[in-house]
Amino acid sequence: MTKPIQAIATGTRAAILEQAIPLFANIGFAGVSMREIAKAVGITPAALYYHFSDKETLYFEAMRYAYADQAESFKMALQLEVTPRQRLESFVLQLTQYLYDKPDFQRLMQRERLDGDEHRTKLLAEHLFQEQFKAMSELARELAPEFEPHLWAISIAGLVMYHIEAEHLRHHLPGWKQEHDDPRVVADHVLRFILQGVNID
Q: Is residue 34 part of a domain?
A: no
Asked if residue 178 belongs to a domain, the reply is yes
Tell me whether residue 13 is in a domain. Answer: no
The H or E element spanning position 133 is helix 130-143
The whole-number pLDDT of residue 9 equals 53
Can you tell me the distance from the alpha carbon of 43 to that of 116, in angstroms, rounded to the nearest whole number? 31
| In-domain check, residue 25 | no
How far is the C-alpha of 31 from the C-alpha of 184, rounded, in Å?
34
Q: Report yes or no on 9 lying in a domain.
A: no
**Residue 153 neighbours by CB under 8 Å, 6+ apart:** 133, 136, 137, 139, 140
Amino acid identity at 61: E
Number of H helices, E strands in the chain: 11, 0
Terminal Cα-to-Cα distance of the chain (whole angstroms): 75
Print the domain residue range for 76. 55-196
Residue 39 is assigned to a structural domain of this protein: no
Q: What is the pLDDT along the chain (201 residues), one digit of tens a residue?
A: 344 434 345 588 999 999 999 999 999 899 999 999 999 999 999 999 999 999 999 999 999 998 887 888 888 888 888 999 999 999 999 999 999 999 998 899 888 888 888 999 998 999 889 988 999 999 999 998 999 999 999 999 999 999 999 999 999 999 999 999 999 999 999 999 988 865 544
161 assigned to some structural domain? yes
The answer to whether residues 158 and 165 touch, using CB atoms and an 8 Å cutoff, is no
Distance, in Å, from the CA atom of 152 to the CA atom of 149, rounded to the nearest integer, reads: 5
Q: What is the CATH number of the domain that holds 111?
A: 1.10.357.10
Q: Is residue 151, in this structure, part of any structural domain at all?
A: yes
pLDDT at 8: 41
Q: How many domains does the chain have?
A: 1
Radius of gyration of the chain (CA): 19
